[in-house]
Amino acid sequence: MITYIFVTNRLLKIMRRDVFQAIADPVRREIIELLADETLTVNTVAQKFDVSRPAISKHLKILKECGIITINKQGRERFCHIQPKNLIPAFLWIEQYRNLWEDRLDSFENYLTKLQTKNKKNE
């Protein structure tokens, strides 16, 4: 959803939906997965799900609004293209904790190794 506000005589466009919200829904994640492989029309996407076409239309609108896909008109069909670079912000946010979980896994492995060494000594 896009909102417009006035700030000191200027019309500002506010993106209330972000990529985190976009990928929160499992249907939208599946749509992203589909479009990562190939460009599809709105109907083709809709046919791959149990929900109605308007429901898919809404999901596509949300994905479009936060830049994850673009929709190109061609005749009466709309082709949905993925714009993978707009997943980068979400990726970077999670990635900042990568060292954290890798450290913890390391220390867990160390713990296991020590445990095994200890057990061997006791044999």
Partner DNA sequence: AAATTGCGTAACCGAATGATTACATATATA
Partner DNA sequence: TATATATGTAATCATTCGGTTACGCAATTT
Interface residues toward DNA, by CB under 7 A: 1-2, 13, 15, 17, 21, 24-25, 27, 41-44, 50-55, 57-62, 71, 75-79
Instruction: Give the Cα separation of 123 and 65 in Å (integer).
Output: 63
Among DNA, its own copies, none, what binds residue 39 when CB lies within 5 to 8 Å by partner kind? none
**Does residue 34 bind its own copies (CB under 8 A)?**
no
Q: Is 45 exposed, middle or buried (0-12, 13-18, 19+ CB in 10 A)?
A: buried
CA-atom Rg of the chain in angstroms: 22
- Binding residues vs its own copies (CB under 8 A): 1, 20-21, 23-24, 26, 29, 32, 36, 82, 84-85, 87-88, 90-91, 93-98, 100-101, 104-105
